[in-house]
Amino acid sequence: MIPADYRKLSDEELVFRYAHKYEHAALIYLFERYGHIVAGVCNNYTGSINEAKEATQKIFLQIAEDLVTYKIEKFKPWLFQKCRNYCLLNYKGSLPVDNNGALSEDFEEDWQYKIEEAHMAEILQPMVGSLDAAQRTCIELFYLQNLTYNAIAERTGYDVSTVKNSIVSGIRNLKKQLMASGKVKL
């Protein structure tokens, strides 16, 4: 079990705790925080969920060694570069390349989008938790599980108009929180 205070720590604080204090829970929490994102990126390279899961495990095993060996100042960009390098080295034949052998622009844009998406998810996660129960539930089911309004209504017992209103109100509340936080310009 991971201590609750780990959720409040920055990536760099978790890296420090693992690298200098040998707190293995810090590495486990970094995996919880980013493992699914790394797997998604690896899936783009491999085209196989099973290969992507295996690649993610291998990447995090290497990260465990590297965090003790090297000084990592900005974990997230370093992690994504590590992931990209691993995939380029191991799955080059399956990558979308242009006639010159360079990665296609669409692929590079998708990569950048995934990084930005991960950053936004990290910012939004605590904000979603502050919404009222109906808003939080409907937003999570709609955006994270990709359920339809009708499917959400069936699962929650809310009527469809309540589901729609909860999503709209929740988005409005998230937008207000984002603007107030100053972390994102809308």
Upper half-sphere CA count for residue 176 (Cβ side, 13 Å): 8
Name the band, by pLDDT with cuts 50, 70 and 90, for residue 99.
low
Distance of CA 159 to CAs 162, 167, 174, Å? 5, 13, 22
Q: Render pLDDT for 122-144 as a digit per residue (tens, 0 to 9).
A: 666 777 788 899 998 988 888 77
Diameter of the chain measured on Cα atoms:
55
Q: How many CB atoms lie within 10 A of CB 55?
A: 23
So what's the pLDDT on residue 159?
93
Q: Is 157 exposed, middle or buried (0-12, 13-18, 19+ CB in 10 A)?
A: exposed
Helix or strand or coil: residue 70? coil
So what's the pLDDT on residue 6?
78
